[in-house]
Chain A
């Protein structure tokens, strides 16, 4: 295992390696850098680990996605803040000579312009000036933010398991021998990286053998078993569940892949065989899986998902058995929020699996999240233009963006705040928070002003022009990011396990993927819809207000305009099965989703889709939006996912679900629905939750995040956090301990209607 007493030593080595290979073919440069990176990347297992695989990440790395300096980074990345901190320490430490200090400073300066994020930003077209927000969406007040990352990849672990590392290398080399010269580096790069991963395995093996010699009894056995698994996978495909998990863990960490994906599909057979042949008990299997989940949770940090159930799994029986094991582990891991475990439901599914999921939910767990295959598969077929077989491989990551497991990528690379866009429209393109022009006018595109509007249709048309402008920026950024990333690297570990890169001899962003997808995170969609409904109702239908009066009230955050505020609040709202409010929501939903979808042709992607995203960014982005015409006050949270605005669903559970089902699911890549229910929904001989969910799914409900909570507990937890340490709630796409949330997010959760 790598050890050094010199700060930034490995970052310097990595940088030197990069510079030496700066003009080499990108695949070779990447593979050599990766070789260097992996040689210093891993650290020793902890005392109770059953699986080897812990990392100590340097501050200069190559990765598809990681966080640093409070933003996401892609490709060649530098965590500049930490490098500067260490550079400072080096300057103050006499153990380092001046030459070392200079090398460090030069390294930081070099990467400042050479890192991939910077290369992308340098290529922003001029007309984005003033409109594209800054990189830090927590601080910058803008309607759109770039997100630098390649995220949401479900690798083909079945292939990895059937070939093994060396089998995969053999495949690459055999392709290489027949490939034209310009494709050879791609295959050779893959082979080189696979060797580097093998070296990691071997060094862990040495470590484990060494530990086994120094320990006794159970500890010794544990190290021996770990060493045996590592020995087996260094040169051969895995033959047992332990070996498969071990290989997967090291591969994922090497590639900085955070998605576990459809584990019941690719792990079920190993599990069943191990049980049958008496190699493993259920309890031992659960312990292994729990350790694996913990490693991915702690070493990857975020977003990781496990998906169980659903159509398109090769051996359903063993997959279901493994899915049951996953739920046992989920119960063991009550206090852990990652991986986010999700169940794909279908009418015909194994009822025992579904019942087990509902039982776990009824106990106050927020997992599994439920996804309905009966709705999602046809929706994915339409949205992504793929056949049923491929659509059955739909999978989701992070906050719920869909992609196709082993076949595609679905990274969201922009966050679009549609409520903020309405604010721009109502201020003739000026962002009231900054006083600067932003949007089509800033880009020199002539659009109507507020004073030109004569009817609601005019306003709607103007809003759509603004939305289309920012959506075009989303598409442009996604295209630019893929382009620059492809110029910089091949993302070899990904390309090795994504269809059909190997066969095509092309990297994932170079035409290798079966399906090149992309997504846009949209926020505040229902806030926007309710706002437009309120404007139509008060300004154009009842004529209780003029548009100017309304904007005046918004600019004062309703202070001194209480009457206007109440008028706006009493306008119809989405979530009540009200045809007017739902109709406007539907119109905007379709416009936003279809306009995004249409970008895929312009941007040369197989699909480009909206996601009605669900995390607590509705709270953080809400801080940047002034009062909105739906009656929401300035800085308050925006609507979340496809759910009605908090507390505005007043007509009961069925009306809310009916409203949600009006939103077309076949034009986007995932919409989230939050449903807060009380325990009584699960009570009695025929608990109501089952028919409610069955009806919802039958009506076209796509997905549901169930939180089973007692409202009184939440209220009490705000007053007495110390009494509610274990209270766990679903905050959009994430699960969190209620008392850890900031007050605003707590209020957001509390104010959602509970049924």
Chain B
């Protein structure tokens, strides 16, 4: 059994309790306009080109079977035609400066486990563990279920970060061996969901209820994008969810940042820029929630 991952980060301090190894799975059925891991949307391996690292040496052009690379005179001579690329990775293999990379490597659960085990002493001491993130883990439900079970068997704490956009069947597979869910709540109206996420809220709501009913530990993760979801309607829904589902321990507000734009450029796509919130705006959100005693203790900025 294999899964494709974009990255594995060790010593993560923001994706669950303690120090964690975070596994980023590749592929996501949603296309959130502010996605901060755009390279994780496409489930297949794909080429990334980091302009600043390129030396225009032309080795890529020499090995490319489809002429996706052209190196002509002048500054920034090397250009990549992403639409031609067949994701063979030959160019990345010969790139001396690692400007070209094939994002997406294939792993077995055992291989991931080996990486996780390296930090066991840190998990033990800090109450940490592994976090499966993405992309969308639900796309890899069978693989994830297997990996989670094996982590659990070794006493490693498990966390899944999900948009909730997937089938009930997939979510049910993750239930038994996940200690904690980081569940995205990005938007509260169906209309906006279709516009900004590229998908319906229905499966997300259904999966959140499923976790709530199963009394799993849930942390609600709410990216707040000025002008999109920093409004009463969305905030009220978050409040409402906190009240309705006691399994939700807390809701973390994640102020929008624009790191995704550069990464989108590296893979030959473009991303909309939203205004980055100021501290004053963030304080205003907190003040809004601060009005509600029952929410105050459960809302935090991450």
* In the assembled complex, B13 has its CB within 8 A of some CB on chain A: yes
Q: Which residues of A contact B124 (CB under 8 A)?
A: 695
- Assess the B118–A658 pair: CB atoms within 8 A: yes
Rounded to whole angstroms, the CA-CA distance of A655 and B9 in the bound complex is: 10
List residues of chain A with CB within 8 A of the CB of B128.
691
Provide 12 A-B residue pairs closer than 8 Å at the C-beta atoms, listed in order of the A residue: A566-B55, A566-B96, A652-B10, A655-B118, A688-B13, A691-B128, A692-B122, A692-B126, A695-B124, A695-B125, A698-B121, A698-B125
Cα separation A694 to B128 with both chains bound (whole Å): 14
Q: A654 at interface (Cβ–Cβ under 8 A)? A: yes
Separation of A690 and B96 alpha carbons in the complex (Å): 40
Whether A688 contacts B97 by the Cβ 8 Å rule is no
Indicate if the CB atoms of A694 and B125 lie closer than 8 Å. yes
Given contacts A654-B118, A691-B127, A692-B126, contact A563 B9 (CB under 8 A): no
CA A657 to CA B11, docked complex, whole Å: 11
B 263-287 binary contact with A (CB < 8 Å = 1; else 0): 0000000000000000000000000
Q: A688-B126, A695-B122 are in contact. Are A652 and B11 (CB under 8 A)?
A: yes
Contact assessment for A566 and B53 in the assembled complex, using a CB-CB cutoff below 8 Å: yes
Interface contact B125-A691, CB-CB below 8 Å: yes
Interface footprint category on B:
20 to 34
8 smallest CB-CB distances across A and B, nearest first, come from A691-B125, A652-B11, A691-B126, A566-B97, A695-B121, A654-B11, A695-B125, A652-B10
Decide if B57 is an interface residue (CB 8 Å cutoff).
yes
Cβ proximity bits A558-579 to B, threshold 8 Å, 1 near / 0 not: 0000110011001000000100
Residues 627 to 669 of chain A near chain B (Cβ within 8 Å): 651-655, 657-658
| Bitwise interface map of A from 187 to 208 toward B, beta carbon under 8 Å scored 1, else 0 | 0000000000000000000000
Residues of B with C-beta under 8 A to A755? 11
Interfacial chain A residues near B53, Cβ < 8 Å: 566
Residues of B at the A interface (CB closer than 8 Å) are 9-13, 18-19, 53, 55, 57, 96-98, 118-119, 121-122, 124-128
Q: Contact check: which of A563, A653, A692 meets B125 at CB < 8 Å?
A: A692
Query: Is A699 among interface residues, defined by CB-CB distance under 8 A?
Result: yes
CB proximity of B10 to chain A, nearest CB, Å: 4
Per the bound structure, the CA–CA distance linking A698 and B55 in Å amounts to 44
Contact B55–A562 (Cβ < 8 Å): yes
CB distance from B30 to the nearest CB of A (A): 28
Contact B96 A655 (CB under 8 A): no
Q: What's the minimum C-beta distance from B66 to chain A, rounded to whole angstroms?
A: 24
A577 CB, nearest partner CB in chain B, Å: 6
CA distance A653 to B122 in the complex (A): 10
Q: Known contacts being A563-B55, A566-B97, A570-B97, is A653 close to B11, with CB within 8 Å?
A: yes
A544 in the interface (beta carbon within 8 A): yes
Q: For residue B98, which residues in chain A have a CB less than 8 angstroms away from its CB? A: 570
- With an 8 Å Cβ cutoff, the count of chain A residues facing the other chain is 24
The secondary-structure label for the interface of chain B is loop
Known: A563-B97, A654-B10. 11 other contacts (CB 8 A): A562-B55, A566-B97, A570-B96, A655-B10, A691-B125, A691-B126, A691-B127, A692-B126, A695-B121, A698-B125, A699-B121
Contacts of B126 in A (CB 8 A): 686, 688, 691-692, 695
CB distance from B133 to the nearest CB of A (A): 15
Q: Which residue of B lies closest to A566 (CB)?
A: B97
Residue of A nearest to B115 (CB): A577
Interface-central residue, B18, B53, B96, by most chain A CB under 10 Å: B96
Contacts of B125 in A (CB 8 A): 690-692, 694-695, 698
The B-contacting residues of A in range 438-485, CB under 8 angstroms, are none
- Pick the residue among B19, B55, B96, B97 that contacts A692 (CB under 8 A): B19
Query: Which residue of A567, A688, A698 contacts B96 across the interface (Cβ within 8 Å)?
Result: A567
Query: How distant is A455 from chain B, measured CB to nearest CB, in Å?
Result: 22
- Report which residue of B9, B119, B122 has the largest number of chain A beta carbons within 10 angstroms of its beta carbon: B122
Which residues in A have their C-beta under 8 angstroms from that of B10?
Answer: 577, 651-655
Contacts of A691 in B (CB 8 A): 18-19, 122, 125-128
Distance (whole angstroms) from the CB of A407 to the closest CB of chain B: 34
Q: How far is the CA of A699 from the CA of B121 in the complex (A)?
A: 7
Instruction: Tell me the nearest residue of chain B to A567, going by C-beta.
Output: B96
Inter-subunit contact B121/A567 (CB<8 Å): no
Query: In the complex, what residue of chain A is closest to B11 when comparing beta carbons?
Result: A652
Cα distance A658–B19 when bound, in Å?
14
Alpha-carbon distance A657/B118, docked complex (angstroms): 11
Which A173-199 residues sit within 8 Å CB-CB of chain B?
Answer: none
Question: Closest chain B residue to A690 by CB distance?
Answer: B125
Distance A694 CA – B123 CA, assembled complex (angstroms): 11
Given A562-B55, A566-B96: A577 in contact with B121 (beta carbons within 8 A)? no
- Once bound together, how far apart are the Cα atoms of A653 and B118, in whole Å? 12
Q: How distant is the Cα of A69 from the Cα of B93 in the complex, in angstroms?
A: 56
In the complex, are the beta carbons of A654 and B122 less than 8 A apart?
yes
Closest chain A CB from B301 CB (angstroms): 14
Smallest Cβ-Cβ distance to B54: which chain A residue = A566
Q: Are B118 and A577 interface neighbours, CB within 8 A? A: yes
What is the CB-to-nearest-CB distance from A523 to chain B, in angstroms, rounded to a whole number?
Answer: 29
Q: Mark A692-709, 1 if CB is under 8 A from B, else 0.
A: 101100110000000000
Nearest chain A residue, comparing its CB with the CB of B93 = A542
Q: In the assembly, what is the distance between CA of A570 and CA of B97, in Å? A: 6
**Alpha-carbon gap, A698 to B119, bound state (A):** 12
* Shortest Cβ gap from A466 to chain B (Å): 29
Bound Cα distance from A686 to B19, whole angstroms:
12
Residues of B within 8 A of A686 (CB): 126-127
> Which of B10, B55, B98, B124 has the most CB atoms of chain A within a 10 A radius of its CB?
B10
Name which residue of chain B comes closest to A564, CB basis: B96
Task: Chain A residues near B55: list those with CB within 8 A.
Answer: 562-563, 566
